[in-house]
Structure formats: C-alpha cells, structure tokens
Amino acid sequence: MECKGKVWKFGEDIDTDAIIPARYLNTSDPAELALHCMEDADPEFPGKVQPGDIIAAGKNFGCGSSREHAPIAIKAAGVSCVIAGSFARIFYRNAFNIGLPIFECAEAADNIEENDQVEVDMKSGRIINKTKGEEYSAVPIPPFMQEIINAGGLINYVARRVKQNA
C-alpha cells in the first residue's frame, strides 16, 4: 500500500472521542464509522477527505479510550496513514493490529501544514513533503511490529501461532 496524498492537519492530544464519538459506537461497521470520522474535531472532515489523504497531528494522537473503532474509522475513511508527533499507546497497538499505517515524527508533525502534498515510504519511514520540498525521518517501526505487519495484521499472526500450537 502507498501513502501519498493531501494532508489534513490536527492539533495535539487528539482523543478517540474526537476521532469517533461514542454516540456512534452502537455499530462497528467500518463504512458507518467512516461517516463520522474526526467529526468532533472537524465536522466537515468526513465529507471532504479523499482516498489516500493523510492525517498529520501533534503529540499524543489517539489518547483516551481503547476503542479500535478509532483507527478503523480513519482507515475506512480512506486515510492512507497518520503522521503524529507521538501516539497514545493503545491507539498505537490498535493501528498496527488493524493495518492502519502510522508514523511517529515530531519534525514532520511540526512542519507539515494542511493541504501539503506528502508521500511516505513505508519501508524506510522517509516522509517527503512535496509541497515544501522537505524530508523527515519517522521513528523506525520496531521489528516485532514489522512482523505483525508482514503477517497481515495481528489476527493472521495469531492464526499462525494457533497452527503451531495445534
């Protein structure tokens, strides 16, 4: 999968209630969740986000609840990846587990602005800001997380282990 698109910029401490408010958690259907993605941070976001677009934000993105619906909503909205200064820990796990690419990079979070055209090389973690002609390096993905990604998400990884145990 390629991460390449226009950036939507958000602030610091974007919580999971902003990403997907609990009033919509009476469903876990990704398409329905996508209709309300980031709604309480920007009510127009679900209408204007295009496939491939990128979310960039400050520190502690995804703080708050453990709801996996948060990365699911972002992924289903067509967002190709999230770049943030840092991620809250449960959101970080959940994003990997469901296959939403995320990149931790304070420099990128500081310098990328809304509407910038950005490309990320998944393998190297190089973040290229086409609009500004800048490059940033994301914190490398830990090898174990890479293994989960290579397996195609946690469930596939676990399925393999289940087979080994059998």
Among 8, 80, 94, 118, binds another protein (CB under 8 A): 94
- Could you say whether residue 42 binds another protein (CB under 8 A)? no
Which structure tokens are listed for 85?
């200064």
Helices assigned H by DSSP within the chain = 16-19, 30-34, 45-48, 69-76, 89-98, 106-111, 143-151, 154-165
Nearest alpha carbon to residue 150 among 128, 131, 122, 130: 122
Residue 151 found at the interface with another protein (CB under 8 A): no
**Which of 72, 64, 109, 112 lies closest to 88, judged by CA?**
64
Verify binding: residue 60, another protein, rule CB under 8 A.
Answer: yes
The only residue of 75, 80, 81, 93 in contact with another protein, by rule CB under 8 A: 93
Among 1-9, 62-70, 73-81, 125-133, the segment contacting another protein (CB under 8 A): 62-70
Rounded to whole angstroms, how far apart are CA atoms 150 and 128?
Answer: 23
Closer residue to another protein in complex, CB, 39/53: 39
Q: Which residues bind another protein (CB under 8 A)?
A: 13, 15, 17-18, 21-23, 25-28, 39-41, 43, 59-60, 63-69, 72, 86, 88-90, 93-94, 97-98, 142, 144, 153-155, 158-159, 161-163, 165-166
